[in-house]
Amino acid sequence: MSTITVESVVRLSHALTCYMARKQSAGLLLFRWTDRPGQTPECRAGTVEVLLVHPSGSYNRGAPWSIPKGLVESGEDLATAARRETREETGLDATEIVSLGAVDYRKSRKRVHAFGAHAPPDATPRCASWEVDRAEFVPLERARELIHPDQAPFLDRLCAHLAKR
């Protein structure tokens, strides 16, 4: 039987505090169909485009792209934060959204929550914030090359969701 020491309690308390203080971000993965109007949708090459943004600043020149996202404000729920951040960065919003879960960044341990949503038919993204220097719909296969590696599971989860529709 092991003994609980003050030191082990302090270490556990510190670990829990760090875990609870983890930065939480939320954003929308907007998508649109590129062909097959009126037909059963499939998530395959050439049929889906997703909205990605690129962070601004010369220090981010080679940085990976991302879903539009940002920090959740105090008292704000994840879905509201995702909509707000996407609107602030790209000028776009969505009505119906579905959770795509969360990922934890390997290096920073930041947790990112994503929601999938069909882009409005007339959606034209723009850089609506100094935080991004590009906001574009890109083909799914290109998105896999551009997106932050820790966010790549969101693309697979979006495709899995679309396959169930």
Q: Where in the chain are the domains?
A: 23-164
Q: How many residues does the chain have?
A: 165
Residue with tokens 């092991």: 2
Comparing 147 with 6, which gets the higher pLDDT? 147
Nearest to 92 by CA among 27, 157, 163: 27
How open is the CA angle 82-84-90, to the nearest 5 degrees? 95
The chain-wide mean pLDDT, for the chain, equals 85
pTM, 2 dp: 0.81
What CATH architecture is 23-164? Alpha-Beta Complex (3.90)
- Taking only the tens place, the pLDDT of each residue in 77-98 is 999 999 999 999 999 998 899 9
- Taking only the tens place, the pLDDT of each residue in 44-75 is 656 899 999 999 888 888 889 999 999 999 99
Q: Which two tokens stand for residue 142?
A: 């290109």
Q: Which two tokens stand for residue 92?
A: 């776009």
Distance CA 92, CA 72 (A): 18
Mean pLDDT of 132-146: 94
